[in-house]
Amino acid sequence: MKGNKRPYIILSAAMTIDGKIASKTGDPDISDEEDWKSVHKLRTEVDAIMVGKGSIILDNPKLHIKYYDHKGYYRVVLDSNLSIPIESNVVNYKPETYPTIIVTTENAPVDKIREFGSKNVEIIKSGKGRRVDVVELMPILYDKGIKRILLEGGGNLNWSFIKNNLVDEIRIAIAPWMVGGKDAVSLVEGEGYAKMLESPRYCLSNVSSRNNYVTLNYKKEK
């Protein structure tokens, strides 16, 4: 039986003043060079970076580190039916430094599991439902030695973690734009809480600003 310990989760994102993490057409260009540097610094301090399938399909990120020396970490992608393209950077870019785990469900097609397996991607199944069960996943990752995760979204994956009260720390860079758009992805999507008092509450631990960017750090209220 798996233990009930779970990794410490740090949610990191750059958003516009109005809380969007991309424009309505999916333009993700919110961070400036300084912000990327501080995100990459954070990446040096964790055992894994986690993203949702939507971010892989829209942005095709490498999820690597550019500005610092480091030993690497896991890239963890949540993809319930194993439908990201096999050509994705997360599969092909420096797998020896950043081994990739795709977390899927019991419903994932066997031929896809074989296809990704041939690229040395590790497949973990978590849950029998339509989507990956993030609660069930936590002790599985912990038992693999993943004790700290940088959760880099997008908005739908962020909601799954917020809904299950799994986010321990938040690091948000607010960038100087108001982009609007009901179809532009917000920091946290999903159905949301009905009441403030039901939702997880955080304590502000740091604020810094430079060049019209504000960075906010929050920690979960004990």
Where on the chain is the footprint of ligand NAP (CB under 6 A)? 13-14, 21-22, 26, 28, 30, 51-55, 58-59, 78-81, 83, 131-132, 134, 152-157, 160, 185, 189
Which of 168, 170 has the CB closer to ligand NAP?
170
Pairing of strands 169-175, 8-16: parallel
Query: Count of H helices and E strands in the chain?
Result: 6, 9
Which of 29, 143 has the CB closer to ligand NAP?
29
Which of 163, 168 has the CB closer to ligand NAP?
163
Which of 96, 126 has the CB closer to ligand NAP?
126
Task: Provide the minimum distance between the beta carbon of 61 and ligand NAP in the complex, in angstroms, as a whole number.
Answer: 8
Q: Which amino acid is at 194?
A: A
What is the separation of C-alpha 173 from the centre of its chain, rounded to a whole number of angstroms? 15
In whole angstroms, what is the distance from residue 34 CA to residue 8 CA? 25
Which of 7, 155 has the CB closer to ligand NAP?
155
Task: Provide the minimum distance between the beta carbon of 117 and ligand NAP in the complex, in angstroms, as a whole number.
Answer: 18
Task: Provide the minimum distance between the beta carbon of 222 and ligand NAP in the complex, in angstroms, as a whole number.
Answer: 26
Task: Provide the minimum distance between the beta carbon of 111 and ligand NAP in the complex, in angstroms, as a whole number.
Answer: 17
Which of 22, 91 has the CB closer to ligand NAP?
22
Q: Give the helix ranges, DSSP H, for the chain.
A: 33-43, 53-59, 89-92, 110-117, 134-143, 155-163
- Tell which residue, 124, 119, 159, 156, has the closest CA to residue 142: 124
CA distances from 75 to 34, 90, 145, 154 (A): 23, 7, 13, 15
Task: Provide the minimum distance between the beta carbon of 92 and ligand NAP in the complex, in angstroms, as a whole number.
Answer: 19
Task: Provide the minimum distance between the beta carbon of 37 and ligand NAP in the complex, in angstroms, as a whole number.
Answer: 14
In whole angstroms, what is the distance from residue 97 CA to residue 89 CA? 13
